[in-house]
Amino acid sequence: MFRSLCNLSSAKTFNSDFGGFYAYPTENPLVLVAPELTDPSKVQLLHFPNGALRINSEIDFTIKRNGVKGNFEVKVESPAGMNIVTPLQIVDPERLRVNFCLKEAGLYKVHIKCNSVPLPKSPFIIISICGEPESNVRKMELPIFKSDASCVTHRGLGLTHISLDEKNEFTVDGSAAGNNMLFVGIFGPKGQCDEVVIKHTGNNVYKITYEVRDSGDYLLVAKWGDEHIPGSPFQLSAM
């Protein structure tokens, strides 16, 4: 019964109990070892895109083996039904990079196999919509501000002393200083202040509140654009 599985050489001997000759092996059987089974559930996809992407967007994600051995194959099915085998770039022994471009609008299916075994949830879906990719969309740039920080005024107890575990307040008035942005930061014994709130009340007038929990010396910085307002940085102490 083992002849079809093992390469056996045999010899014959006589045995009167069985009434004649019978065969017995004279060489060790040939043992065939099966290759390691593929476990596609261990494979991860890193940076795979989510949501709808614009046409001409570039798709770039990574296949992480997580110890799974074998050959990977990625086939992209376009909305028109064309199947394109995508070349894989070896990043390191554990990672393969996949890169391709969305040339048309519609539903793309990304089929991924390892040793001809599909990964769970394959094919993976990518939706492409009409329009330019985000990288080509003009982004809003900061305007060129014309201002004079020396014209900024301020008032309030929050610039003269600090009360622990209470809200400290002060006001910054930039109505006569031109258009710009107000930046406020507070640095204390343990680093940045836990909470600083800047509220614009209109006409470039701002109400600032902050709260600290540790006693010690603090440094309060207030800038109108890139320039310090008069008095900044402010030296404060909390007892």
Can you name the CATH fold of 40-133? Immunoglobulin-like (2.60.40)
On the question of pLDDT at 212 being above 70, the answer is: yes
Is residue 122 scored above 70 in pLDDT? yes
Average pLDDT over residues 73-91: 91
Average pLDDT (126-135) is: 73
Is the confidence at residue 28, as pLDDT, over 70?
A: no
Instruction: Round the average pLDDT of the chain to a whole number and report it.
Output: 83
3-class secondary structure for the chain? CCCCCCCCCEEEEEEHHHCEEEEEECCCCCCCCCCCCCCHHHCEEECCCCCEEECCCEEEEEEECCCCCCCEEEEEECCCCCEEEECEEEEECCEEEEEEECCCCEEEEEEEEECCEECCCCCEEEEEECCCCHHHCCCCCCCCCCECHHHCEEECHHHCCECCCCCEEEEEECCCCECCCEEEEEEECCEECCEEEEEEEECCEEEEEEECCCCEEEEEEEEECCEECCCCCEEEEEC
16 or 3: whose pLDDT is higher? 16
Is 54's pLDDT higher than 50?
yes
Residue 31, pLDDT above cutoff 70: no
Residue 51's pLDDT is what?
Answer: 81
Picking from 3-17, 75-89, 183-197, 221-235, which range would have the lowest pLDDT averaged per residue?
3-17
pLDDT surpasses 50 at 34: no
Q: Is the pLDDT of residue 3 over 70?
A: no
The whole-number average pLDDT for the span 220-238 is 94
Whether the domain at 40-133 and the domain at 149-238 fall into the same CATH topology: yes
Query: What's residue 239's pLDDT?
Result: 79
Q: What is the pLDDT of residue 152?
A: 96
CATH tag for 149-238 (out of 2.60.40.10, 3.30.390.50, 2.160.10.10, 3.30.420.40): 2.60.40.10
Question: What is the share, in percent, of the chain residues with pLDDT greater than 70?
Answer: 79
Predicted pLDDT at 5: 41
pTM of the entire predicted model? 0.44
Domain ranges of the chain: 40-133, 149-238
Confidence of residue 15 (pLDDT cuts 50, 70, 90): low
How would residue 193 be classed by pLDDT, with cut points 50, 70 and 90?
A: confident
Q: For residue 27, what pLDDT is reported? A: 61
Average pLDDT over residues 215-231: 93
